[in-house]
Amino acid sequence: MFAAAWLDRASDIDAVGWSAVLVAPIIGSFLGVLIRRLPEGRSVVWSRSRCEGCNAPLAARDLVPLISWIAQRGRCRICRQWLGWFYPGVELAALSIAVMAALLDQGIEIWLDCLLGWWLLALAWIDARHWLLPDPLTLPLVIAGLVAALVLAPGELASRALGAAGGYIFFRGLAFLYRRLRGRDGLGQGDAKLLAAAGAWVGAVALPQVILIAAFAGLCAAGVMRIAGVRLAASSALPFGPFLALAIWVVWLLPALTG
């Protein structure tokens, strides 16, 4: 029954949905570059892509999303070094976001779903790799959520503005209390800014859902790590950004999921 329902949805994907699916691997390739270079302060746009093994510049045929990696069996065409799963992984993740959006929504809403999903994907991956949620990504995401409300849902603008302010203040206050009680940092400023972005996209009323889903996802991840044999202590920590990003996108999609 579940599979049949999704097949029915797949048959209803419109032209906008297919365009998003086709563009998604290209977006994923750009996101891979962004994730790698932005935390290191390198140019995302102007620096030419090079093999990380032999430093040889990559030609256009080496940069076709997914296809080049498969054709070259995951190795550099020049030095034959194994390139790893990072870039195809990001491209497949971006493609999955587009497929989900195309299955659940119609028209311009698909691109809005993808925009938010791809943006959150970059933030989540950077935080997982570097424990960092960069301002050049979090702060524009707040503005983008408010602009989307102003243009597409002006009646929600006040709620979203309140959510952005309230989300930031709540996490900053929580971080302050944690620091006073435990003597160490528990939440970074980036987490507060990402929760502000959540408020700007889903509104003040939905923020408790975002926090609960993110906390539950974090607990599940910790449980999986314990089962896998990773020792966790009271002082252990996980980057919260990936769980927060997942929760934001889930809450954003909830109306389409339940519709």
No. of H helices and E strands in the chain? 10, 0
Q: Could you say which of 79, 112, 131 is where a domain stops?
A: 131
Do 138 and 51 sit in the same domain of this protein?
Answer: no
Domain that includes residue 4, residue range: 1-131
Q: Could you say which of 100, 131, 162 is where a domain stops?
A: 131
Do 187 and 72 sit in the same domain of this protein?
Answer: no
Do 177 and 236 sit in the same domain of this protein?
Answer: yes
Do 26 and 114 sit in the same domain of this protein?
Answer: yes
Do 54 and 111 sit in the same domain of this protein?
Answer: yes
Do 123 and 140 sit in the same domain of this protein?
Answer: no
Count: domains in the chain: 2
What is the pLDDT tens value at each position of the chain, 259 positions in all?
445 555 556 667 778 889 999 999 999 999 999 999 999 888 787 777 776 777 777 777 777 888 888 888 878 787 888 878 899 999 999 999 999 999 998 888 999 999 999 999 999 999 999 999 999 999 999 999 999 999 999 999 999 999 999 999 998 888 888 777 776 666 778 899 999 999 999 999 999 999 999 999 988 988 888 887 777 665 567 889 999 999 999 999 988 777 6
Do 126 and 148 sit in the same domain of this protein?
Answer: no
What pLDDT sits at residue 2? 47
Residue type, 229: G
Do 162 and 198 sit in the same domain of this protein?
Answer: yes
Q: Could you say which of 103, 131, 159 is where a domain stops?
A: 131
Angstrom distance (rounded) from CA 154 to CA 139: 21
Contact 79, 56 (CB under 8 A): yes
Do 259 and 173 sit in the same domain of this protein?
Answer: yes
Do 200 and 225 sit in the same domain of this protein?
Answer: yes
Three-class SS of residue 50?
strand
Do 122 and 180 sit in the same domain of this protein?
Answer: no
What pLDDT sits at residue 72? 85
Angstrom distance (rounded) from CA 78 to CA 92: 24
Q: Rounded to the nearest 10 degrees, how much is the dihedral formed by the CA atoms of 26, 27, 28, 29?
A: 50
Do 171 and 257 sit in the same domain of this protein?
Answer: yes
